[in-house]
Amino acid sequence: MKRSILLLAALCTFAAEPLAPDVRAKMIASFEGTVKSADAAIARDATQLRAYSNRGDAQLFLGKAKEAVADFEKMIALDPSQDAPHWRLGIAYYFAGDFAKSAKQFEKYHAYDDHDRENGVWKFFAQAKSADGIEKARKEMLEYKRFDREPFPAVYDMLAGKKTAAEVLTELDKKGLKDDALVMFFAHYYIGWHEQLLGNAAAAKEHLGSAVELAQKAGAGGGPGYMGQVARLHYEALK
């Protein structure tokens, strides 16, 4: 047990503030600019899917989940074929506190793409936060037959109760992945979220903070694309 605690501490250390204030301010200004541009585009033509898509993303990243939901639902109203593949709506539902709808959206996406393990992670968390609870969410986790990218197989086992967070990190270390910022970003993000679900606020903050910091190392645009911003939202909401 002591060795596991030490390993967790060694693998999830980050600065007091994992995202520098000036970096965050620049991101927020960019998202606000996107909203304004989308507003103007929609004023010119209220049927522009791309404008609703862009504005929905920006609204979500600004912490306005309900507004994001409205934009994404408008996309589907304009083009019903957007529904099943719209995993971003599932994320927006989650942050808006509509967990049952979030879980349902990820079930739809699973029917559309049945090998994206990250989709199953989100469905689990949404269902666990709904009236169903964590035990039912574990029993009804989406099934996957194909191996996909790291660290999701181990993370999925953790959510199912088959591995601990320490075991997930040890497995990635043994595979030589501890210096892979993108892999470790996802590992710490979902470990942190799991700790939050279990009521371990201090551990959740530590791992989510590590995820935000790793996002800056992993890629352009303030992190590994969409999920870098989603992890930031999670960290800021917890903090």
% the chain with pLDDT above 90:
81
Looking at this protein, which amino acid is placed at residue 186? F
Q: What confidence tier does 10 reach under pLDDT thresholds 50, 70, 90?
A: very low
Q: What confidence tier does 53 reach under pLDDT thresholds 50, 70, 90?
A: very high
Q: What confidence tier does 2 reach under pLDDT thresholds 50, 70, 90?
A: very low
Distances (CA, A) of 123 to 46, 88, 93, 94: 31, 12, 11, 10
Range from 22-31, 93-102, 208-217, 222-231 carrying the lowest mean pLDDT: 222-231
Domain range list for the chain? 149-239
Q: What confidence tier does 217 reach under pLDDT thresholds 50, 70, 90?
A: confident
- CATH code at 149-239: 1.25.40
Instruction: Supply the pLDDT for residue 16.
Output: 67
Q: Does residue 122 contact residue 87 with C-beta atoms inside 8 Å?
A: yes
Neighbouring CB atoms inside 10 A of 130's CB total: 17
Q: How many Å apart are CA 227 and CA 204, to the nearest integer?
A: 17
Instruction: Supply the pLDDT for residue 14.
Output: 46
Instruction: Supply the pLDDT for residue 212.
Output: 94
Instruction: Supply the pLDDT for residue 223.
Output: 54
Spell out where the chain has E strands: none
Q: What confidence tier does 50 reach under pLDDT thresholds 50, 70, 90?
A: very high
Q: How many Å apart are CA 220 and CA 175, to the nearest integer?
A: 25
Query: Mean pLDDT, to the nearest integer, of 102-110?
Result: 96
Among candidate residues 88, 54, 72, 97, the one with its CA nearest the CA of residue 237:
97
Max alpha carbon distance in the chain (Å)?
62
Instruction: Inform me whether the pLDDT recorded for 23 exceeds 50.
Output: yes
Instruction: Inform me whether the pLDDT recorded for 148 exceeds 80.
Output: no
Instruction: Inform me whether the pLDDT recorded for 1 exceeds 50.
Output: no
Q: How many Å apart are CA 109 and CA 50, to the nearest integer?
A: 20
Instruction: Supply the pLDDT for residue 146.
Output: 78
Q: What is the pLDDT of residues 77-87, one digit of tens each?
A: 999 999 999 99
Q: Roughly how many angstroms between the first and final C-alpha of the chain, as a whole number?
A: 27
Instruction: Supply the pLDDT for residue 163.
Output: 97
